[in-house]
Amino acid sequence: MTAALLLGIVLLALAFLGSPLFAVIGAAGLAAFYLAGIDSSAMIVELFRIANAPTLLAIPLFTFAGYMLAESRTPRRLIELSQAFLGWIPGGVAVVSLVSCAVFTAFTGASGVTIIALGGLLYPILTEQKYTERFSLGLLTTSGSLGLLFPPSLPLILYGMVASNTRTIAGGTPDVSIDKLFIAGIIPGIILVVLLSVYSVRKNAGSGTIPFSFGAAFRALRLSAWEIPLPVIILGGIYGGFFTATEAASITVVYVLVVEVFVYGDLSLRKDIPRIMRESLLLVGAILVILGCAMGLTNYLIDEQVPMKLFEFVRSFITSKAAFLILLNLFLITVGMMMDIFSAIIVVVPLIIPIATAYGIHPVHLGIIFLTNLEIGYLTPPVGLNLFISSYRFDKSIPEVLRSVVPFFLLLLAALLLITYVPELSTWLVDALGIR
């Protein structure tokens, strides 16, 4: 016990000193198996099991496709399309920003990429149309993580993969699939966008608009003609039974590569594609290393009945499901503030799922709650990631960025409560479509 406590203190100290997360988790797993008298090959077995998971291929493929879209002129075409059809609404330029960022984040899976890629395009448009600097700054900082609930968001895929490999307290594995999560996130994601859009329209009803023009609309449709079908191809193919989520990722990569290189000519096959592939695989590599180390440690914790002991501890103070959900939201917002979304999913989900399912929370609904909290965590002071990225991108101080996001933060909290306590928002569409 003394050795385990000392080891825990050392590992925590290393983490606070900036040691890589995968190294700390891997060391903790190896030490735990050693102290329990279990051969360290148990970690390698878990790595092998993860490597053989069919859904694993979807992560690098969708990431590569998202990076290609981010490096091309797709963001500009997406903004022009949104402007043409939504810019005429009073306050519509703000709605354009929300919709554009949400769609873009769904494909890139990273809020920082959205703020950097679209922020420089949208911020001048907002200020030119007489939106205040504070509102524009808050809107774009918030919008950076707004699309994480929409398919084919990488966090949805990663959550599905981790959750489906986690044992519950009852001994089974939760009924969570990527197909279900893709559908489950649609209604909650729309609620977030609509709520922020209504606020933006009411707040800026007197701001400038972009008059509707059939010519501009036709031009925007013509320019985006090859990118508009992409969500339809992905979702229609999966739920039409034509291909799986992993096969959809392969089709997406080929489609985006052909469109951006040979149709639009935005990217060079020789100069840009190798660089983009290398950059996307750096992110994927970090995710997979953390995933392998974390799942090994997680299995040890489950074998030692740590989730069961945590559940018994929590139940001694909290008996109702409603009270547990409040505690869960507070915990997850804190996690989202302190960790990036991929690390949070890999490290926290295996510990949360056994406890939450024991309280009767549907694992798919839990996934939507989890990701919504992490979206909000990106905006939570003092170390919410979006605050720092936005401060850097727009050359504003952190307190200034923080003040700008307060009304959006409160609206997201209201939406979170709705999503948390009305589980049908996450599960109804899944059940209605009969997805298994």
Q: What is the pTM of this model?
A: 0.85
Q: How far apart are CA 192 and CA 68, in angstroms?
A: 27
What is residue 262's DSSP assignment?
I
What does the pLDDT look like over 196-226, one tens digit per residue? Answer: 999 988 877 666 667 888 888 899 899 988 9
Residue 365: pLDDT over 90: yes
- Specify the amino acid at residue 191: I
User: For residue 171, what pLDDT is reported?
Assistant: 62
- Look at the chain and count its residues: 436
Least confident of 33-47, 62-76, 250-264, 278-292: 33-47
Output the pLDDT for position 20. Answer: 72
Q: Higher-confidence residue: 269 or 119? A: 269
Given this model, what pLDDT does residue 110 score?
A: 65
Alpha-carbon 129 to chain mean position: 30
Residue-averaged pLDDT of the chain: 83
| Residue whose C-alpha is closest to residue 185's, from 416, 361, 427 | 427
Instruction: Look at residue 417 in the predicted model and tell me its pLDDT.
Output: 94
* Planar angle of CA 349, 355, 356, nearest 5 degrees: 75
Distances in Å between the Cα of 420 and the Cα atoms of 176, 198, 279 are 18, 21, 36
Q: How far apart are CA 34 and CA 36, in angstroms?
A: 5
- Is pLDDT of 354 > 80? yes
Cis omega (within 30 of 0) on the bond before 382?
A: yes
When comparing pLDDT for 385 and 326, which is higher? 326
Q: Distance between CA 152 and CA 243 in Å, rounded?
A: 14
Alpha helix ranges (H) inside 165-228: 178-184, 186-203, 214-223
Hey, is 263 helix, strand or coil? helix
Distance CA 258, CA 65 (A): 11
Inter-axis angle of helices 58-71 and 154-164, to 10 degrees? 170
Q: How many CB atoms sit inside 10 A of residue 258's CB?
A: 12
What is the pLDDT averaged over residues 396-421? 92
